[in-house]
Amino acid sequence: MPEPTCAKCGTAMELGEAREYLGQELCEDCFLDALTITKTCDPWAVHTAKSLKDLPGGQTLTPLQQRLYDLVKERGELPMLEAAAQLGLTEDELRREFAPLRHMEMLRGCKKENLVYLTLF
């Protein structure tokens, strides 16, 4: 019997390792990604980020978030997909890294010509 493969990323999985989601067999990483909904517009997260910013160590960026912020700061604005490509990320991965920056009101997204652009807040 051949090893099953993830319907999303194509990774080979051992028997019994696959997770079923909406009729698809997914690896654990893709299954968790499917269950995790990234919310960029979350008033409670914005409130929390604002409350933490004045505390010691309250707003610390990961190296990847810092690279994303620096890229947008350098360019002024750029399409989300271009930012993802420059950082070697998928669109989902970029959205996950962008969300905390949006909550901290450091970056925001705006639509232009049917594209989502990232820009400074």
Q: For residue 112, is it within any domain?
A: yes
Q: Please count the structural domains in the chain.
A: 1
Q: For residue 16, is it within any domain?
A: no
- Structure pTM? 0.66
**Tens-of-pLDDT digits for all 121 residues of the chain?**
567 888 888 888 888 888 888 888 888 887 877 766 666 566 655 555 566 666 666 567 889 999 999 999 999 999 999 999 999 998 888 998 998 888 888 899 999 988 999 999 8
Nearest to 75 by CA among 62, 85, 63: 85
Q: For residue 84, is it within any domain?
A: yes
Q: For residue 106, is it within any domain?
A: yes
| pLDDT, position 31 | 80
Alpha-carbon dihedral 96, 117, 53, 44, rounded to 10 degrees: -60
Q: What is the CATH number of the domain that holds 64?
A: 1.10.10.10
Q: For residue 109, is it within any domain?
A: yes
Q: For residue 68, is it within any domain?
A: yes
Q: The domain containing residue 114 runs over which residues?
A: 60-120
| pLDDT, position 38 | 62
Alpha-carbon dihedral 34, 38, 91, 114, rounded to 10 degrees: 120
Q: For residue 13, is it within any domain?
A: no
| pLDDT, position 36 | 66
